[in-house]
Amino acid sequence: MTVLSSRNVVKRFTEGKQTVEVLKGVSLEARRGEIVALEGPSGSGKTTFLSILGCILTPTEGRVVVDGHEVDASRPGELPAIRRRSIGFVFQQFNLFPALTALENVEYSLNVRGRKGPAARKEAERVLDAVGLADRTSFLPRDLSGGQKQRVAIARALAGAPPLLLADEPTANLDSVAGRQVLETFRDLAKREDRALVIVTHDPQVRTIADRVAVIRDGLLAA
Amino acid sequence: MVSLARRNLLHDRLRFAITIAGVAFAVTLVFVQVGLFLGLLENASVTIEHTGADLWVTSRNTPNVDFAHTFPETLVQRVRSVPGVARADNLLVWFMQISLPTGTQEGTLVYALEDFAAWDLPWSVKEGRLEDLPRGDYLFLDDSATRRFGPFAAGEYREVNERRLKIIGRTVAARSFTTTPISFVDYGLAQELGSQTLRGKTTYVLVKLAPGADLEAVRAEIRRRLPYNDVFTKAEWAKRSRSYWVANTGIGLNMYLTVFLGVLVGVVVVALTLYTSTMEHLKEFGTVKAIGGSNRDIYRILAEQSVIAAVLGFAAGALFALAAAPGMAKAGLQLIITPGFGAAVLVGTVLLCLAASLVSFRKVAALDPALVFRG
Ligand SMILES: Nc1ncnc2c1ncn2[C@@H]1O[C@H](COP(=O)(O)OP(=O)(O)O)[C@@H](O)[C@H]1O
Ligand SMILES: [Mg+2]
């Protein structure tokens, strides 16, 4: 089942008198249980593309359908609801809340997604257990290693069962051993929980867990 | 529910403490300034509030109870004959000279009645028997006079308008707005002390209504019979006496100005600390937005933080003010903080802190969640 579908996505940025076309017509699809690696040199537009898939930016042209919802660029007010319902994010910088424990980081994101109370706490415990951090739930981010932080972030993205997971350079701030573990966690969970996963990266390790590799260069997909 | 708002406040304790201190400062200032103001104003009408009269007949255009003007004392007869009047008596309030043992002269505000007990005046007697007053050249003096006149005791003599009077009693809590000490003497004696000026004259007629009498009807009838006097209810007369001082001295303006400045400082401190905190947590707010948080979620965080700061700051400020009250009372300054006033300050504090958080909210509402992908 297709969770993500994007057609001929074009993105232009205008700064003053200058306009740059960062994406020149990119199409990508992902199905449940599928892991797609999106590679490309720095500045090629990977993050911009991922932001559009994640309904954080809107495309200048083209169509994006997430989990059956067509993204309407003229109604940006509807984007947060799509993100809440259907998308889990993992960032290069982890972006955990420093004042919250591992468990609270996950639980809080469930609260934002509209799930509250003991059910949210249970779900948070479940996903932390799934990423192998059952014994670190009450740790603050500063007391966790980089790899553990990223696994908390993966748990946060998984919580609430969004069908689409998007990760931007999730291993870039980790050493290769920790990066390896994080990727394996990603692969196991995406498969076991049947999520579509798009990982933007220039880390060659990512290929080893991907079902498909797409390469972006100068704003276009290279086969 | 996980409260990011509370966790972040506890995470930056120092700044949180500064925010609370800012609120507490403003709250203390408001309580002390307004409390002092109310305390001063209460002095302006405290004798009116305690006198057991329903209506006060005054000379026309008397501005406040201290600045009394005379009118013929026989008018009291006309008041007594008004249906619905249970009792009406003359009250003299007059400024007189008192000579101290040191030889210096001071002023005293003399209250004179024939039957003090009938009007609950003075309402708080510490020493002496009121019914002795008509029996000689006697005087009751309020304890607050000690500050101006030095220590005194029952049995001592003081010269009032050049006549030797014996102090036979002490009262407490009888005060005038001008801080002129209040003394009580017999009505006839007061007229003698006032010689020409007070001969056959009074300054007020106190009126007590019969049970079931209609106040407005009685008042209208007194007005008809005494067309050259004013007739006030107790509440009106108290208000008139207080308003005079607010309108004719700087105390009202002074209070509003200090309160305004204090509140301004408080709001600026809260807005600034909340804003710097928001700026430092901008990436977190971006993350909240990225994971689907709406502007409402964001505002709830900021609002929760400002309400917590408001409530804690209010509690600290109120405690400071209450702690300061006894010390100020020793210095002769009474602080009046009523529950209603306290509640109004709490509501005002919360609303102003919420308003202060709007500065931060505008910043976060305009935040582009795409920043979460940037280093
Ligand atoms: N908000 C923006 N405004 C203007 N230019 C942007 C903006 N975001 C990205 N770009 C430009 O788009 C290009 C691609 O950036 P990015 O998507 O971050 O690349 P990558 O993630 O592949 O390194 C860069 O040249 C960058 O300067
Ligand atoms: Mg990038």
Residue A208 DSSP symbol: G
Q: SS3 letters for chain B?
A: CCCHHHHHHHHCHHHHHHHHHHHHHHHHHHHHHHHHHHHHHHHHHHHHHHCCCCEEEEECCCCCCCCCCCEECCHHHHHHCCCCEEEEEEEEEEEEEEECCCCCEEEEEEEEECCCHHHCCCCCEEECCHHHHHHCCEEEEEHHHHHHHCCCCCCCEEEECCEEEEEEEEECCCCCCCCCCEEEEEHHHHHHHCHHHHCCEECEEEEEECCCCCHHHHHHHHHHHCCCEEEEEHHHHHHHHHHHHHHHCCHHHHHHHHHHHHHHHHHHHHHHHHHHHHHHCHHHHHHHHHCCCCHHHHHHHHHHHHHHHHHHHHHHHHHHHHHHHHHHHHCCCCCCCCHHHHHHHHHHHHHHHHHHHHHHHHHHHCCCHHHHHCC
Taking the CA atoms of B127, B132, B138 and B139 in sequence, report the sign of the dihedral they define.
Answer: positive
pLDDT bin (cut points 50, 70, 90) of residue B334 is: confident
CA distance B156 to B154: 6
Instruction: Write out chain A residues lying below 8 Å of B4, CB-based.
Output: 97, 99-100, 108
Asked if the Cβ–Cβ distance from A112 to B370 is below 8 Å, we say no
pLDDT bin (cut points 50, 70, 90) of residue A73 is: confident
Length of chain B: 375
Is A219 touching ligand 1 by the criterion CB < 6 Å? Answer: no
| A156 half-sphere exposure, CB direction, 13 A CA radius | 32
CB atoms within 10 A of CB A187: 16
Pairing status of strand A164-168 against strand A196-201: parallel
Q: What is the pLDDT of residues A119-132, one digit of tens each?
A: 999 999 999 999 99
**Local structure of A165: helix, strand or coil:** strand
The pLDDT of residue B333 is above 90? no
Q: What is the pLDDT of residues B35-66, one digit of tens each?
A: 988 888 899 999 999 999 999 999 999 999 99
Classify B365 in phi/psi space as left (phi over 0), alpha (psi -120 to 50) or beta.
Answer: alpha
Q: What is the pLDDT of residues B347-360, one digit of tens each?
A: 999 999 999 999 99
The Å distance, Cα A20 to ligand 1 centre, comes to 9
Ligand 1 atom nearest A14 alpha carbon: 4
Instruction: Write out chain B residues lying below 8 Å of A84, CB-based.
Output: 291-292
CB atoms within 10 A of CB A221: 17
Cβ(A37)–Cβ(A74) below 8 Å: no
Q: What is the pLDDT of residues A186-200, one digit of tens each?
A: 999 999 999 999 999
Instruction: Write out chain A residues lying below 8 Å of B370, CB-based.
Output: 51, 56-57
Cβ(B170)–Cβ(B143) below 8 Å: yes
Is A14 touching ligand 1 by the criterion CB < 6 Å? Answer: no
Going from N- to C-terminal start, the domains of chain B cover 2-43+250-373, 61-227
- ipTM of this complex prediction, to 2 decimal places: 0.94
Instruction: Report which protein residue has its CA nearest ligand 1's atom 5.
Output: A13
Structure confidence at residue A223 (pLDDT):
64
The pLDDT of residue B323 is above 90? yes
Ligand at shortest distance from the CA of A44: 1
Cβ(B274)–Cβ(B19) below 8 Å: yes
Dihedral of CA atoms B359, B362, B363, B368 in degrees, nearest 10, equals 170
One-letter amino acid of B368: D
- Residues, CB within 5 angstroms of ligand 2 (ion): A 47
* Residue of chain A nearest B8, judged by CA positions: A99
Instruction: Report which protein residue has its CA nearest ligand 1's atom 21.
Output: A47
pLDDT bin (cut points 50, 70, 90) of residue B216 is: very high
Ligand 1 atom nearest A44 alpha carbon: 22
Residue of B6, B281, B291 best to disrupt the A interface, most CBs of A under 10 A: B291
* Residue of chain A nearest B10, judged by CA positions: A99
Phi, psi of B167 (to 5 degrees): -75, 120
Phi, psi of B18 (to 5 degrees): -65, -40
- Per DSSP, chain A holds a count of helices (H) and strands (E) of 6, 10
Min Cα separation A198/chain B (Å): 15
pLDDT bin (cut points 50, 70, 90) of residue B375 is: low
Cβ(B117)–Cβ(B130) below 8 Å: yes
Taking the CA atoms of A181, A186, A187 and A192 in sequence, report the sign of the dihedral they define.
Answer: positive
Token reading at A134: 């059952």
Structure confidence at residue A9 (pLDDT):
95
CA distance B31 to B322: 9
The pLDDT of residue B128 is above 70? yes
Q: What is the pTM of this model?
A: 0.81
CA distance A119 to A114: 11
Is A109 touching ligand 1 by the criterion CB < 6 Å? Answer: no
Dihedral of CA atoms A74, A80, A81, A87 in degrees, nearest 10, equals 110
User: B328 or B88, which is more confident?
Assistant: B88
Q: Which residues of A lie closer than 8 Å to B, measured between beta carbons?
A: 47, 50-51, 54, 56-57, 80-81, 83-85, 87-89, 91-93, 95, 97-100, 104, 107-109, 111-113, 116-117, 156, 168
Structure confidence at residue B332 (pLDDT):
76
The Å distance, Cα B227 to ligand 2 centre, comes to 92
Min Cα separation B328/chain A (Å): 43
Share of chain B above pLDDT 90, in %: 81
Structure confidence at residue A72 (pLDDT):
85
Share of chain A above pLDDT 90, in %: 91
| Lookup result for tokens 């006198």 | B51
Structure confidence at residue A1 (pLDDT):
86
Is A46 touching ligand 1 by the criterion CB < 6 Å? Answer: yes
The pLDDT of residue B151 is above 70? yes
| B375 at interface of A, judged by CB pairs closer than 8 A | yes
The Å distance, Cα A47 to ligand 2 centre, comes to 4
CB atoms within 10 A of CB B131: 10
Instruction: Report which protein residue has its CA nearest ligand 1's atom 25.
Output: A43
Cβ-count burial of B80 within 10 angstroms (0-12 exposed, 13-18 middle, 19+ buried)? middle
Structure confidence at residue A163 (pLDDT):
95
Asked if the Cβ–Cβ distance from B292 to A112 is below 8 Å, we say yes
Cβ(B310)–Cβ(B63) below 8 Å: no
Of the candidates A6, A77, A1, A81, the one whose C-alpha atom is nearest the C-alpha of residue A33 is A1
Cβ(A169)–Cβ(A145) below 8 Å: no
Average pLDDT, chain B: 93
Size of interface A-B (CB pairs under 8 A): 73
Q: What is the pLDDT of residues B282-304, one digit of tens each?
A: 999 999 999 999 988 999 999 99
Of the candidates B311, B289, B284, B301, the one whose C-alpha atom is nearest the C-alpha of residue B357 is B301
CA distance A26 to A11: 9
Ligand at shortest distance from the CA of A45: 1
The pLDDT of residue B114 is above 70? yes
Structure confidence at residue A93 (pLDDT):
93
Token reading at B305: 């933080």
